[in-house]
Amino acid sequence: MGKRAITQAIEHTVLNRIGEHRDILVAYSGGIDSTVLVHALVRLKQQVLPELQLTAIYIHHGISTNADDWAKHCQQQCQLWQIPCVVEKVSLRLDQGNIEAQARAARYAAIAKHFNQQTILCTAQHLDDQCETFLLALKRGSGPAGLSAMPEQSLLADHLLLRPLLTICRHQIEQYAQAYHLQWIEDESNQDDHYDRNFLRLNVLPLLNQRWPHFSQMVVRSAELCQQQEQLLNELLAETLAQLTDKQKSLSIQPLLSFSAVKRNALLRMWLKCSQVIMPSRKQLAMIWQTVILAREDSNPTFLLADKQIRRYQNRLYLLPRYQDLRVNKLIWQLTNPLILPDNVGILSANSAQGNCRLPHENELVSVRFSAHGQLQIVGRNGSRSIKKLWQELNIPPWMRSRIPLIFYNETLITAVGVFVTQAGKGEQVRFIINDGDHLTSHVD
């Protein structure tokens, strides 16, 4: 295929991929791939789609000493092409390993700040990148989901992410750049085969493509088949998962016990994926099954997964944030002012309308705590019982028992906000409520 045919093919492919979208943010590193993508979009704006709103964004990672020069290069090119260019600086922790993953997460977080309602993001991954992604997933021992590699379109911060060049090989991109005499930068880190992706690009794929010229295309075909299998699996399991989950997205455990290991593992992964959690390894999945789901009934098992925790309660599985231990907190409170509670529990306030507690006496200091001991007698129930027994009777999950604000007058527990009032707090002068941004919680009368 001649250079003119190549340039026309790439521009036609990009036009088809963007479809009806007209507000495009394009990731621009200054390298050859993103340079070709931005140029192709600029050509479309100039010749076919004058209404196209096109903005380039350069992410300044600060790793290379050349990063400032690269940013300047991108700005100058965009000025030449008469499109805006945004430069976003991000910080990476070089001492925390996995720089590639850090850089990717930082890039997307910075990019998401520039979305408006109609914006889509275009990135310049191409067919050879797809092949590398597949092989990296293979190296990790991934299943069909991982081997699906990169889709042509996905979501980022609820906005569409398009990869218009995903069916275009690197050689075609080079031909396009040469045909238009484009200028691009060469990142010196691309020659460092310490990074896995560079190792494949520099040392492995050239040999494979020399032996089998269509190797990359065949790998991409396999990735597409894996995508189809994953989509089919999700469609088959979606109805079952919907039946097993409730409004709080907790998962019923009992039906899982009758499923095969393959089916229950697929459902567990799908349940986690719905909450956008990093997928557990096969070993971690087995540990969740053994140490949480199959734990003794009287135990309170917890499994930590990235920044989440998996808990079991009343034969259901819950995915929760990692909470701080609030039991050591003691907050002195003036009832006239709302009180911001720690660890995003909410904002506590006193409301005199429809009160169900008494107000403190002049000699009583009001404090808010998250732990209590001893026997209690509560309004609406005969006899006293321990607070642990009360939590159980009121079906309060273990992880919430140290997150419910307990209001004390001096050393006397008056109320667990939204749950119960003690006999010592009985009255109709004030009601304590929490506004956590999602809903209002008030006392159970």
Q: Is 425 annotated as a binding residue?
A: no
Give the start-end residues of each E strand in 185-341: 251-252, 302-305, 308-313, 316-321, 330-332, 339-340
Alpha-carbon span 342 to 311, nearest angstrom = 22
Whole-angstrom Cα Rg for the chain: 29
- Measured in degrees and rounded to the nearest 5, phi and psi for residue 121 equal -105, 135
Q: Is 325 annotated as a binding residue?
A: no
Within 10 Å of residue 434's Cβ, how many Cβ atoms? 20
The tokens describing 179, both together, are 């045909």
Cα angle: 233, vertex 236, 240; to 5 degrees: 120
Q: Is 193 annotated as a binding residue?
A: no
- 26 by DSSP, 3-state: which? strand
Q: Which residues contact 50 (CB under 8 A, 6 or more apart)?
A: none
Alpha-carbon span 81 to 46, nearest angstrom = 10
List C-alpha distances in Å: 115 to 32, 69, 111.
25, 26, 7
Alpha-carbon span 359 to 354, nearest angstrom = 13
Give yes or no for a contact between 112 and 157, defined as CB atoms under 8 angstroms apart: yes
Q: Is 143 annotated as a binding residue?
A: no
Residue with tokens 């990731």: 27
For the CA atoms of 225, 231, 237, 243, the dihedral, rounded to the nearest 10 degrees, stands at: 180
List C-alpha distances in Å: 262 to 58, 149, 368, 387, 440.
43, 22, 48, 42, 41
Give yes or no for a contact between 273 and 237, defined as CB atoms under 8 angstroms apart: no
The tokens describing 364, both together, are 């009583």
Q: Is 32 annotated as a binding residue?
A: yes
Q: Is 33 annotated as a binding residue?
A: yes
Q: What residues form the annotated binding site?
A: 29-34
* Binding region for ATP: 29-34
